Structure 1
């Protein structure tokens, strides 16, 4: 008898308010940023951009959960603030942004309180492969660490900038 009452209630509730499937529209496709100017993409939105670092196989030191944030200066177009985050350590410096061609940029600087490999060259480009673009990367590049005085640099990391870091307003509106 209780089961009949529950079935009657569920049928009455279903008749009063028909079930609608609330499917939202899929978000529009993200814009294709391949071949655009790196410096303009880094300055977009005025927020720091997170650069993920993947260590090269030949590099001897460990690099667990390492990433950089890049914040271009609003008062000087050729400068940016670089913060290296490796675990709980943070090192920050101001670096130069050197535009190399239409779709590449070098970020060159020195971390002052580091003993070894204080100098760095970060190369980023928007000429990404179709596979990298499908993985969600806007920019790819390399990081070289070493000494500027002796001009000995070694490639240490593969650097990527994810697409969602540039288009957060695009994802919020979707």
Structure 2
């Protein structure tokens, strides 16, 4: 019955998910094939504040949780597509500084395919790393959020 609720509410705005109790979101990341740099399995933790809906705390955890980088991200909700953008900059991320790509843009949407729904995903999207000053952006990771119970 719960899975039917998620299936019927695909495509709802992401702000409704946050309003209904999702304050912490764990995002699993898988490296794209065109990303030439070695990347271990990593995940991001988004912590939303009840009062500041346009800002969230982004924690990047890599290498089995041994390295943690924290920053504040700006959240932009799109009303028509049921998606959100989170942008920010990791200041201490050594790989981002070496590649001269300290900025990130995370795109998540609730418009998922049937295949993604059967895999247990609630949100899917992409992570782009780049340099805002130079205008260079590159898709680096596929991002997904699993539903509870998967």
TM-score w.r.t. the length of structure 2 is 0.85
| 1:139 counterpart SS class | strand
1:155 aligned to which of 128, 139, 149: 139
Q: 1:43 to 1:70 in 2, by over 3 A?
A: farther
Q: Does 1:81 align with 2:57?
A: yes
2:71 aligned to which of 83, 87, 93: 93
Count of residues in correspondence between the two structures: 139
Q: 1:55 to 1:42 in 2, by over 3 A?
A: farther
- 5+ residue gaps, structure 2, are none
TM-score w.r.t. the length of structure 1 is 0.74
Question: Who is 1:145 aligned against?
Answer: 129
Q: 1:100 to 1:46 in 2, by over 3 A?
A: closer
Superposition deviation, residue 99 in structure 1: 1.1
Superposition deviation, residue 101 in structure 1: 3.2
CA-atom RMSD, angstroms? 1.7
Alignment check: 8 A CA contact 2:23 2:49 kept = no
Alignment check: 8 A CA contact 1:46 1:71 kept = no
Superposition deviation, residue 64 in structure 1: 1.4
Counting only pairs closer than 5 Å after superposition, residues 4-83 of structure 1 correspond to structure 2 as: 28-30=1-3, 31-32=5-6, 33-83=9-59
- 5+ residue gaps, structure 1, are 1-27
User: Which has the larger Rg?
Assistant: 1
| 1:45 counterpart SS class | coil
Deviation above 2 Å: which 4+ runs of structure 1?
A: 42-47
Question: Who is 2:118 aligned against?
Answer: 134
More helix by percentage: 1
Superposition deviation, residue 163 in structure 1: 1.1
2:85 aligned to which of 103, 106, 122: 106
Q: 1:40 to 1:97 in 2, by over 3 A?
A: same
